[in-house]
Amino acid sequence: MTDLFPDDEPWVEPVTPGAVILRRFARGCARELLAGIDAVAARAPFRQMQTPGGFTMSVAMTSCGALGWVTDRQGYRYQPRDPQDLQPWPLMPPAFLTLGQQAAESAGFPGFMPDSCLINRYLPGARMALHQDKDERDLRAPIVSVSLGLTARFLFGGLSRRDPVRQIPLEHCDVVVWGGPARLAYHGIMPVRPGEHPLVGGVRYNLTLRQSGKNE
């Protein structure tokens, strides 16, 4: 948002081959993104899902787009309907799609066509364990991850869980894009610290845009 960052222009911060952080990239559409989150959550409320191992995730989630990502005792998967009411997931807000495509192209991945957006809501203390995004059929497409609200400490490692892991601060409107040789890098989020963002309040939201390839 230009009113929050009047003198701070976006810039590109390389992480590793195939992965970059587009600092402040989403600031011009932050209010549209937050309005989109509210609209999606009004149709498909946030919920804390279970892992296949039976653990309840600390992060609350919902989805939009043609497919939504879900997890339960049956496993991780994409499906076209919300398991809570069996209705199609809400349409992906245009601001989500436009930002995802622009971010991917800026990171060197033109032609990105996301069909799913997982929306994560982090309250203080919520975290995301190291994992790979590998439920997509087409691993040629990148992952686009948008941060809104409270600052997070992003964990980014290598292709093996044993590889060294970097802790990278992510602030409001930062966008991370990874693909190519980094597409299956392990990543996660350290427990979010309490705070208050002037636009979002005491919450961190994350938009993860993916091209699942499940409809191809």
Neighbours of 22 (CB within 10 A): 22
Instruction: Detail the residues annotated as belonging to a binding site for Fe cation.
Output: 131, 133, 187
User: What are the pLDDT digits (tens) for 58-108?
Assistant: 999 999 999 999 999 999 999 999 999 999 999 999 999 999 999 999 999
Which architecture does CATH list for 11-210? Answer: Sandwich (2.60)
pTM to 2 decimal places: 0.94
Tokens of 160: 């093996």
Instruction: Detail the residues annotated as belonging to a binding site for 2-oxoglutarate.
Output: 120-122, 204-210
Tokens of 162: 């044993």
Confidence of residue 1 (pLDDT cuts 50, 70, 90): very low
DSSP letter string over 7-23? T---EEEEEETTEEEEE
Instruction: Detail the residues annotated as belonging to a binding site.
Output: 69, 76-78, 120-122, 131, 133, 135, 161, 187, 204-210
